[in-house]
Structure 1
Amino acid sequence: MSKSRLLVVFALVALVAMLVAVGCTSSNVPTTAGPVYNTGLAADEYRNDAFKELFPLHWESYMRNNDDTQMTVFGGSVPHRKNDGVNPLPKGYTYAQPYLKNLWLGLPFMYEYDRARGHTYALQDMLRIDRVDSYNEKANFGAACYSCKTTTIPKYLEKYGDDFWAMDIHELREEHDLGMHTIGCSNCHDPQTMELVITQVALDEALLRLGIDWREAPKNDMRSYVCAQCHIEYYFQRGAQGGAQLKPHFPWDQGFDPQDMYEFFADGTPEIDGFSGQYADWTHPVSGVPLIKIQHPEFEMWQDGPHGSAGVSCSDCHMPYVRVDGKKKISSHHWRSPLFTVEQSCLQCHGDKDAGWAKDRVVYSQQKTWDQLMVAQNESVRAHEAVRLAREFEGEKRANFDELLAEAVELTRKGQLFWDYVSAENSAGFHNPAKALETLSISIQDSMRAVELAKRATNYGIAPQLEGDIKDIVPPILEHSRKLQQSQAHLDSHQWLQYLPLLPEAERLWDDENNRIR
């Protein structure tokens, strides 16, 4: 469609915006009304390139997400292995967490966990990553994984209804154009009016459970809700008796903090939560601890942090207004760290400071969080090893061994959940420094308590095996993949890997570009 066919009708400009005061909620922050469009596109348009000619300046900024060469101190878009602190970029990086494969042993995350590239790579990176089983016709993940990677979900829900959630991820591989169906325009905008909308069913349901209807939400709230469609913690409902993963569910019913989620996962209600009893994503094969995998809770961390509580939206920092084409002002659709756009993202509010100050404050907070994250990670590994040793201990045990071990197991579960809440959150604590440090403090204390209980259960018979540097007790697993798990020699190379089953020899069915190769 030519630009001449685009009808733009500007809405009435709102009253002059007031200064944002710390402590305000985002609902109290007035925002200028945006333009209203009649694009002429179909209501169900989901191809990204359909918007290119209509919004060329926004499209240009969106396409900059293809740049996968930029790094900040603790993040960026270069696709490196997040457990690899040995090798240089792009394979590894200095700020790595060496025990990710150990802590996620038995979960597909143990195979590959890379730094995410820009949103334009979301679909491609999901389908190529080793977490998705590309060695078998039936994958280990359901179609629900597409929810945060593509614009096609409304199409599939209309076509398949709720049966979509139970479909196999491989069933829909060949229907996707990796570039034009990846995260894009129609995930957040009504194709006809360009109004902000929620297309993520799980978010719509979670907000309604909290008494919030996004259709009535202020624009400033929507500038964060559209990001909350994916930058959140979630799990897949599996029904009271387990089985195949189904619909995504956001565990916000008791609150947004890790303690709230820990309690939520303790005892679910099938008709509401999709599970009963204690929920677990998997059981660690070494320790036998039932665990929760936390997913990127940026929204939960931000919402009561310094910026979220002050009414500063996600878009204010990550999609700042920029001047383009000489004079026009648009909201940038190059989604990246505000450290690359300090003048536009930070100094609009912190006008009495300079860019150097802003960057230093961010890195200062992140470094403090990172240091404690490493401690929490190490103590979590020690807790798993302590529970393993206690389970396999053959000496004289305490009379209340079972009770002590059960408490150690639960504290190991909780300690890892709290560590992962910060580990999986993509700001290295900056979205909410106080919450990040408190969460890691609880993780460290609970993991250390688990170790002490496991020792006591064995009359301290295992204590000598748990003393010293954790890297000497349990070395980090640097290399592990589906292909390597087809080798018994590889499994024999590390004590913890020996708890995994040997996989049958096989070759991949799809390559990194989603082409079928056999």
Structure 2
Amino acid sequence: MKKFKLLLVASLLAIVSMAFLTSNINAREAERVALNEVQGIPANASVSSEWAKYYPRQYDSWKRTKEGDEMEDLLKKKPQLPVIWAGYRFSIDYNSPRGHYYAVQDNVNSLRTGAPVDDLTGPFPTACWTCKSPDVVRLMEEDGELEYFTGKWARYGSEAVNSVGCLDCHNPKTAELAMGREYLNRGLEVAGLPRFEDATHQEKRSLVCAQCHSEYYFKKTEYTDKAGKDQTAMVVTLPWHEGLTAEGMERYYDSIDFSDWTHKISKTPMLKAQHPGYEIAKTGIHYQKGVSCADCHMPYTQEGSVKYSDHKIGNPLDNMDRSCMTCHRESEDKLREIVHTKFERKEFLMEISMDNLAKAHLETGRAMELGATDEELKEIRTLLRHGQWRWDYAIASHGSFFHAPEETLRLLADASEKAQQARISLVRLLAKYGDAQYMAPDFDTKEKAQTLAGVNLQKEIEAKMKFKETLEKEWHKQAKAKGLLDEANRKDVDLESSYFKKK
């Protein structure tokens, strides 16, 4: 009898437990289904907090990109850079990137973007907003792509106010992956690749990143606006006409006689790599094995029955259990050691390349002072142009040493070789003009390098700080009045730059 009672109690407890478990599973399944249903997000919702009502987990993880707030003055860390970029605004200011949360503010703060005094002043075109804000997707829809790419960047100072967010990668009606920048499709087409809408879902998980993490240039495009007035748009264009390799893009740029700027010291027509992360990653083993950008930088996470992509886009080593260990069988410590070795090898070759390139520019400048002709310097300048392009392409996407370590080291070695070839030719040329013993001046500090590059840093800082106290504040007022400013997600964005730290 006692045994029967014990069995009865145990059975009742099991039934009750199963009931609770079934209820919990059903509740979680209902939550999962609800999350996957199409939501009523307003079209072109560039304010990311609007999406939080329907996708709270994704939104909360996106907000954590705020944690990536460390900023390093790379001109101070790598003083060769101002000499290498002399005459280009990167020689004034260049910092390590912060998280997506800060993209708009860092664009505004950078000394590179200058200090506009009104909505018509520059120095850069509106295209400088293109990869900083989901408001760009909205503006292209409202104004038209060519109209958006017309004028100076200050023109949209009160419009591009929300930092990289949901609308950059998702359709607001379906929440599916979407491409809001048509220049990507044009780039894919000239490269002979499927358009975004024809790509596989896994490929789309990289292509949404490729909208911005790719090499580009501003192509002058003539058009007639809605008022019948002739205009010139500076359209972001992907140079994939000869392929997605460094050499392929170089051939394209050479074929159209394009240069980003003329070097102030060597008078070389130069190319500036932007951030060819997508292109260089395609040459690496992870991409070749079918791994997408999102697999590592936005790994899936599980909460109950809900599986979602972590939108705290950053270093995969910060969450290796979800980003690396789902595929690799080594220990986390072993993988970290491998990554560190790749990084140190890149740093070693990068330093050699930068030293040789900077000295070659200075030696070219000396040869010019002594009377060397453009014809005598033609081949030297070609070596400088191509060598510096390879160096810049290899390091401008930051993670290239991991995405494609072999390709990165190959490009850096080639860059150094071309710089050395230029310097050997310069030794002969300097000897011809009576200065065989010339040695390039020191550029072992940011201050020395910027002096050689002709940078008036204090003037740039004073102008920028005046802009921040005047026009920038006006932009915020206007954006707030238009209902565009998501004040909760503007909090603490203006903390630091290379020239100030906000208390």
- TM value normalised by structure 1: 0.78
In 2, are the aligned partners of 1:128 and 1:513 still within 8 Å (CA)? no
- Alpha-carbon offset, residue 418 of structure 1: 0.8
Q: Paired residue for 1:369?
A: 346
Per-residue CA distance 1:240-289 (angstroms, 9 max, x = gap) = 9xx97701011111112211111111022xxxxxxxxx111111111111
Question: Does structure 1 residue 385 correspond to structure 2 residue 385?
Answer: no
Q: Paired residue for 1:305?
A: 284
Which among 494, 508, 511 is matched to residue 451 of structure 2?
A: 494
In 2, are the aligned partners of 1:128 and 1:514 still within 8 Å (CA)? no
Q: Paired residue for 2:384?
A: 412
Which among 439, 443, 452 is matched to residue 475 of structure 1?
A: 443
Q: Look up the SS of the partner of 2:472 in the other structure.
A: coil
In 1, are the aligned partners of 2:137 and 2:167 still within 8 Å (CA)? no
In 1, Cα distance between equivalents of 2:287 and 2:46: 30
In 2, are the aligned partners of 1:8 and 1:38 still within 8 Å (CA)? no
- Alpha-carbon offset, residue 323 of structure 1: 2.8
Task: Output aligned runs, 1:202-213, within 5 Å.
Answer: 202-211=183-192, 212-213=194-195
In 2, Cα distance between equivalents of 1:54 and 1:152: 20
In 2, Cα distance between equivalents of 1:283 and 1:327: 57
Question: Does structure 1 residue 49 correspond to structure 2 residue 49?
Answer: yes
Cα gap change, 1:513 to 1:203, in 2 (>3 Å): same
Cα gap change, 1:123 to 1:499, in 2 (>3 Å): closer
Which among 224, 228, 232 is matched to residue 214 of structure 2?
A: 232
Q: Paired residue for 1:139?
A: 122
Q: Paired residue for 1:186?
A: 167
Q: Paired residue for 2:498?
A: none
Which among 51, 64, 72 is matched to residue 80 of structure 1?
A: 72
Which among 212, 236, 240 is matched to residue 248 of structure 1?
A: 236
- Alpha-carbon offset, residue 154 of structure 1: 2.9
In 2, Cα distance between equivalents of 1:207 and 1:194: 23
Per-residue CA distance 1:152-189 (angstroms, 9 max, x = gap) = 22322233221221122112112343xxx211011101
Q: Look up the SS of the partner of 1:463 in the other structure.
A: coil
Task: Output aligned runs, 1:319-334, within 5 Å.
Answer: 319-324=298-303, 328-334=306-312
Q: Look up the SS of the partner of 1:356 in the other structure.
A: helix
Name the amino acid aligned to 2:151. M
Q: Paired residue for 2:59?
A: 59
In 2, Cα distance between equivalents of 1:512 and 1:111: 22
- Alpha-carbon offset, residue 327 of structure 1: 5.8
Q: Look up the SS of the partner of 1:247 in the other structure.
A: strand
Greater CA radius of gyration, 1 or 2?
Answer: 2
Cα gap change, 1:390 to 1:364, in 2 (>3 Å): same
Which among 388, 395, 401 is matched to residue 423 of structure 1?
A: 395
In 1, are the aligned partners of 2:241 and 2:252 still within 8 Å (CA)? yes
Question: Does structure 1 residue 286 correspond to structure 2 residue 286?
Answer: no
Question: Does structure 1 residue 113 correspond to structure 2 residue 91?
Answer: no
Cα gap change, 1:122 to 1:391, in 2 (>3 Å): same
In 1, Cα distance between equivalents of 2:309 and 2:150: 37
In 2, Cα distance between equivalents of 1:499 and 1:412: 25
Per-residue CA distance 1:406-441 (angstroms, 9 max, x = gap) = 100110111111111122121151110110011011
In 2, Cα distance between equivalents of 1:320 and 1:495: 45
Q: Paired residue for 2:8?
A: none
Which among 233, 249, 274 is matched to residue 261 of structure 1?
A: 249
Cα gap change, 1:494 to 1:41, in 2 (>3 Å): closer
Name the amino acid aligned to 1:253. H
Per-residue CA distance 1:334-380 (angstroms, 9 max, x = gap) = 00111111111111111x21101111111111110111001000000
Identity within the alignment, % = 28
In 1, Cα distance between equivalents of 2:461 and 2:204: 48
Which among 450, 454, 465 is matched to residue 438 of structure 2?
A: 465
Q: Look up the SS of the partner of 2:307 in the other structure.
A: strand
In 1, are the aligned partners of 2:276 and 2:397 still within 8 Å (CA)? yes
* Structure number having the greater helix percentage: 2
Q: Paired residue for 1:40?
A: 40
Per-residue CA distance 1:41-68 (angstroms, 9 max, x = gap) = 2232221111111111111111100113
In 2, Cα distance between equivalents of 1:151 and 1:323: 27
Q: Look up the SS of the partner of 1:465 in the other structure.
A: coil
Name the amino acid aligned to 2:54. L
Cα gap change, 1:505 to 1:513, in 2 (>3 Å): closer
> Aligned residue pairs: how many?
435
